[in-house]
Amino acid sequence: MRAVVTGVTGYVGGRLVPELLDAGFTVRALSRNPARLDGREWADDVERVAADVGDLEAVRDALEGADVAYYLVHSLGTGRTFEAVDRRNALTFARAAREAGVGRIVYLGGLYPDVPEGELSPHLASRKEVEEILLASGVPTAVLRAAVILGSGSASFEMMRYLTERLPAMTTPRWVDNRIQPIAIRDVLRYLVGAATIPAEESRGFDIGGPDILTYREMMHRYARAAGLRRRVIVGVPVLTPRLSSHWVGLVTPVPSGIARPLVESLQHEVVCRDDDVRRFVPDPPEGLVGVDRAIEMALARVHDGEVTTRWSSASLPGAPSDPLPTDPDWAGGSFYVDERRTVVEAPRDVLWQVIEEIGGQDGWYSWALAWRLRGVLDRLAGGPGLRRGRRDEHQLRVDDVLDFWRVEAIDPGKRLLLRAEMKLPGLAWLELRVDEAAEEVTDSDDDGPVPEDAAGPGRTYFAQRALFHPHGLAGQVYWWSVAPFHGIVFGGMQRNVAEEAERLFRRSAS
């Protein structure tokens, strides 16, 4: 069977593709920028197609010949218009699937309760509307409705994890005692793969959930126990609104308030499966469904072992810039500012590259730590991601990985790392870190004079660093010149300290 998957750069889509390949499917992966899939283990095993789900012609062409099309996109966190964006994209996809003759649509939606119209949270109401649009497409559709998904890197799991770990005592909204039926990501993926072969006459929604029904309070207590923490003190109060709660979640966890708010609003509903009809078509595995305790244990193990393959931040933040680094310095006819620094490092290139590839996250940025933290806090207050997204893996990077408030735009292992800023800025910014061995004149970070061409001899490497900024309007110009005086401390400090760390590692390995 040929499967077309949207949302392949997201949390679920990025994990579904290898599962489909293992099940024998031929996979076509849709992405606005297929280059973002570089570095994925399965990237060379799929057909990559550039298409935006809002582009009818592009999506229709991409869906030609598809036995099953997975719709795994949503506009969570894009602001007040996210329902309109979801509606427009779903209508486009439904029409494209019908005109392309797709055999089946599979959509992962949200589990919602039976409540009067208008009482659902905006997030769940939008998921329900998308479900209805796809079911009315004329293409056999299987809608899988899930509540909280438990897995390393999921937004729901990260919210629970950080709240529980960082707050031994907390006040929460009343929804903390609402019942939920969470499901492990492993079972979600199994249902998604199995849904492809549901008979065509079955065009309907299916509730999917794990074996446990419990409250959010109980789930946090179970997390604390699995993580070896003391039992948390959780006090539910009636005065905390979803808006206040989402801002609190945004401060305590890596999940920005723009994404946290729709999720928090959805928790005000009890979400429990109304039936288990899906098991008629996708039977339980011999070992049964994964329970909450086991799901938490598996997620924690992956986090601790550095084996988190996708995270909630895998998809770009709504509104984050996605422009590639221009090759023309006079790009768009506007200003283009560059802060460039180079130095000679008394260490081989592989040692220097190790330090560069492990930058950010827990290791920090090798310069004025207070300035980086302050910049992160200001970015969070402005609605950006700040520094709390960290890294997917503490030792290795791949294209499209999140690195605090940067994203990996390009990586040439052992040679070059290009980061694109996703912080709130009046312009576009990149940071390039490069390892060179070419004979050229460079400037030593500890000396203002030129370094001779033969300075990089055996055991020596050039470390080149560029910060680039393309301002938007007057605000961008003001921003650049207001922070330029600090570049010597921030970027100059990074230059020196990265070099010193590489030299230290080399001396230690040689001793």
**pLDDT tens-digit readout, 416-473:** 999 999 888 888 899 999 998 644 444 444 444 444 444 444 557 889 999 988 888 7
- What CATH number is attached to the domain comprising 395? 3.30.530.20
Averaged pLDDT for residues 365-386:
84
Q: Is 324 within a domain?
A: no
Q: Is 429 within a domain?
A: yes
The reported pLDDT for the residue numbered 61 is: 95
The reported pLDDT for the residue numbered 385 is: 79
Q: 248 and 280: one domain? A: yes
- What CATH number is attached to the domain comprising 76? 3.40.50.720
Q: Is 321 within a domain?
A: no
Q: Is 325 within a domain?
A: no
Q: 294 and 372: one domain? A: no
The reported pLDDT for the residue numbered 313 is: 56
Q: With the CA atoms of 142, 148, 152 and 153 taken in that order, what torsion angle do they form, in degrees rounded to the nearest 10?
A: 90
Rounded to 5 degrees, what are φ and ψ at 26?
Answer: -90, 130
Q: 195 CB contacts (<8 Å, ≥6 apart)?
A: 68, 104, 106, 142, 144, 206, 281, 282
Q: 276 and 372: one domain? A: no
The reported pLDDT for the residue numbered 242 is: 64
Q: Is 33 within a domain?
A: yes
202, 144 Cβ separation under 8 angstroms: no
Q: Is 118 within a domain?
A: yes
Rounded to whole angstroms, the Cα distance separating 418 from 435 reads: 12
Q: 450 and 506: one domain? A: yes
The mean-pLDDT minimum among 74-88, 183-197, 350-364, 381-395 falls in 74-88
**pLDDT tens-digit readout, 469-485:** 888 878 888 888 898 88
Residue (of 85, 104, 110, 270) closest to 193 by Cα position:
104
Q: 45 and 13: one domain? A: yes
> What count of other Cβ atoms lies within 10 Å of the Cβ of residue 223?
23
Averaged pLDDT for residues 211-233:
92
Domain coverage including residue 471: 331-510
Element spanning 57, H or E: helix 56-63
Averaged pLDDT for residues 189-203:
95
Rounded to whole angstroms, the Cα distance separating 10 from 28 reads: 15
The reported pLDDT for the residue numbered 450 is: 46
Tell me the H-state helices in 306-434: 349-357, 369-381
Among the candidates 257, 287, 314, a domain finishes at: 314
Share of the chain above pLDDT 70, in %: 85
Q: Is 326 within a domain?
A: no
The mean-pLDDT minimum among 105-114, 152-161, 457-466 falls in 457-466
Per-residue pLDDT for 228 more than 80? yes
232, 169 Cβ separation under 8 angstroms: yes
Burial letters for 302-321: b for 16+ Cβ neighbours within 10 Å, e otherwise?
A: ebeeeebbbbbbbbbbbebb
Averaged pLDDT for residues 5-10:
90
Per-residue pLDDT for 111 more than 70? yes
DSSP 233-264: EEEE-TT--HHHHHHHHHHHSSS-HHHHHHHH
Q: 133 and 248: one domain? A: yes
In whole numbers, what is the pLDDT of the chain averaged over residues?
84
443, 451 Cβ separation under 8 angstroms: yes
Residue (of 244, 208, 265) closest to 76 by Cα position:
265
Element spanning 226, H or E: helix 216-226
- How would you class 22 by CB atoms within 10 Å of its CB: exposed for 0-12, middle for 13-18, buried for 19 or more? exposed
> What count of other Cβ atoms lies within 10 Å of the Cβ of residue 453?
11
Q: Is 34 within a domain?
A: yes
Could you give the C-alpha distances from 68 to 103, 196, 207, 386, in angstroms and in order? 6, 6, 20, 38
Could you give the C-alpha distances from 295 to 90, 148, 188, 278, in angstroms and in order? 31, 12, 12, 20
Domain count, the chain: 2
Share of the chain above pLDDT 90, in %: 44
Residue (of 343, 18, 426) closest to 185 by Cα position:
18
Rounded to whole angstroms, the Cα distance separating 460 from 358 reads: 20
Q: What three-state secondary structure class fits 394?
A: coil
Q: 227 and 352: one domain? A: no
Q: 98 and 123: one domain? A: yes
Per-residue pLDDT for 122 more than 80? yes
